[in-house]
């Protein structure tokens, strides 16, 4: 059946003022519930900030790994180094049986990670290096450049987060990301549908999307910014409460690293869901704003 395109420009002013989801719902003819329609789902501010975040997080991840190589160990607490038994992660190269091997130690358990971590291919031979060159910016050991790149994109991310928050408050997008009690009641069914690869192309986000986006936007990104600031001696000199808040500079560094891994996992799952749910429709939504829906069933 042919799709019906719903344009906000043709909608009543009251519907437009309530945001894209309200306008689209108001415009949808009830007697066309068997058809599919294009709705204006993503506002311009949402689309722009989405892609800016994607670029920022890419450069922050690779430059952050460059910085991490300066000391590829994670600790809990304020102190670190010899005499403190608080290491939870360590990546390096060791001699094992007279042969150099890459070894990653997690909570005291050592794993051979030769070729991936600790001892990696470089220039046609194996070199003692925390990460391979393709995982860092720059691809060679340059802590100064890594820090410049990391901090530049970190501040761009912070500015973009504030722009998104302000715009979302104005256009109503923020309300669309907050799970309601009705959403939470549907959580088991939506989770089961996703496990069966049954995706519903509705006008609004499903509960799993709301929970994951809320975690990233309201928890992970603010925490990754605050823990990053806690690692700065200049910042904690003016804001010493940050050290108490996160239990020390080394704990803040560990939380920062853990949040990075959580964001990488979110990205991988996010891309997988886009591919499985229909990449053309999903990408069109985040590029043009228009999203093709399917008839919504009462659940």
Q: What is the Cα–Cα distance from 51 to 62, expressed in whole angstroms?
A: 17
Q: For 215-264, what is each residue's pLDDT tens digit?
A: 999 999 999 999 999 999 999 999 999 999 999 999 999 999 999 999 99
Is-contact 193 209, C-beta < 8 A? no
Comparing 59 with 209, the larger pLDDT belongs to: 59
- Taking residues 132-136, report their average pLDDT: 94
Backbone angles phi, psi at 160, to 5 degrees: -65, -35
Q: What is the Cα–Cα distance from 150 to 67, expressed in whole angstroms?
A: 9
With bands split at pLDDT 50, 70 and 90, how would you rate the model's confidence at 78? low
pLDDT score for 3 = 46
- Taking residues 211-217, report their average pLDDT: 93
Is-contact 86 75, C-beta < 8 A? yes
pLDDT score for 32 = 43
pLDDT score for 148 = 97
Closest C-alpha to 86, from 219, 260, 297, 248:
248
Q: What is the Cα–Cα distance from 135 to 79, expressed in whole angstroms?
A: 28
- Taking residues 182-202, report their average pLDDT: 85
Is-contact 152 142, C-beta < 8 A? no
Note the pTM of the prediction, 2 decimals.
0.81
Indicate if the pLDDT at residue 22 is higher than 50. Answer: no
CATH code, residues 44-69+141-279 = 1.20.950.20
- Taking residues 73-84, report their average pLDDT: 70
With bands split at pLDDT 50, 70 and 90, how would you rate the model's confidence at 267? very high
Comparing 34 with 188, the larger pLDDT belongs to: 188
With bands split at pLDDT 50, 70 and 90, how would you rate the model's confidence at 297? low
User: Alpha helix locations (H) across the chain?
Assistant: 13-17, 20-27, 44-68, 143-171, 173-176, 181-185, 187-195, 207-215, 221-230, 233-238, 241-246, 249-277, 279-287
pLDDT score for 36 = 65
pLDDT score for 11 = 39
Indicate if the pLDDT at residue 2 is higher than 60. Answer: no
With bands split at pLDDT 50, 70 and 90, how would you rate the model's confidence at 296? low
Indicate if the pLDDT at residue 131 is higher than 70. Answer: yes
Is-contact 27 15, C-beta < 8 A? yes
Range name among 75-79, 113-117, 122-126 with the lowest pLDDT average: 75-79
Indicate if the pLDDT at residue 33 is higher than 70. Answer: no
Is-contact 230 236, C-beta < 8 A? yes
pLDDT score for 128 = 92
Closest C-alpha to 296, from 205, 209, 200:
200
Comparing 147 with 22, the larger pLDDT belongs to: 147
Burial of 296 (0-12, 13-18, 19+ CB in 10 A): middle
With bands split at pLDDT 50, 70 and 90, how would you rate the model's confidence at 124? confident
Indicate if the pLDDT at residue 34 is higher than 50. Answer: no
pLDDT score for 23 = 43
- Taking residues 144-148, report their average pLDDT: 97
Domain regions of the chain by residue span? 44-69+141-279, 73-135
Indicate if the pLDDT at residue 24 is higher than 90. Answer: no
User: What's the longest Cα–Cα distance across the chain?
Assistant: 77
The mean pLDDT of the chain is 85
pLDDT score for 9 = 37
Q: What is the Cα–Cα distance from 10 to 287, expressed in whole angstroms?
A: 21
With bands split at pLDDT 50, 70 and 90, how would you rate the model's confidence at 298? low
């Amino acid at each position: 059946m042919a799709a019906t395109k719903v344009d906000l420009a043709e909608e009543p002013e009251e519907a437009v003022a309530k945001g894209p989801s309200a306008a689209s719902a108001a415009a949808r003819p009830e007697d066309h519930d068997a058809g599919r329609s294009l709705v204006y789902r993503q506002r311009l501010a949402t689309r722009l900030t989405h892609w800016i975040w994607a670029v920022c997080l890419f450069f922050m991840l690779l430059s952050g790994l460059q910085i991490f190589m300066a000391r590829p160990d994670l600790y809990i607490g304020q102190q670190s180094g010899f005499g403190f038994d608080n290491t939870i992660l360590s990546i390096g190269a060791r001699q094992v049986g007279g042969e150099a091997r890459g070894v990653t130690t997690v909570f005291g358990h050592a794993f051979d990670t030769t070729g991936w971590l600790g001892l990696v291919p470089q220039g046609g031979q194996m070199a003692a290096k925390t990460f391979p060159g393709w995982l860092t910016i720059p691809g060679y050991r340059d802590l100064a450049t890594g820090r410049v790149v990391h901090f530049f994109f970190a501040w761009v991310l912070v500015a973009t987060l504030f722009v998104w928050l302000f715009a979302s408050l104005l256009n109503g997008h923020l309300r669309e990301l907050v799970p309601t009690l009705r959403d939470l009641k549907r959580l088991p069914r939506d989770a089961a549908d996703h496990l069966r690869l049954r995706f519903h192309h509705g006008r609004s986000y499903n509960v799993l999307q709301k929970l994951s986006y809320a975690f990233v936007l309201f928890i992970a990104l603010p925490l990754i910014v605050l823990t990053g600031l806690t690692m700065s001696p200049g910042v904690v000199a003016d804001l010493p409460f940050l050290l108490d808040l996160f239990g020390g500079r080394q704990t803040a560094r560990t939380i920062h690293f853990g949040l990075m891994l959580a964001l990488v996992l979110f990205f991988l799952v996010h891309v997988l869901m886009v591919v499985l749910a229909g990449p053309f429709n999903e990408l069109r939504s985040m590029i043009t704003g228009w999203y093709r829906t399917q008839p919504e069933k009462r659940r």
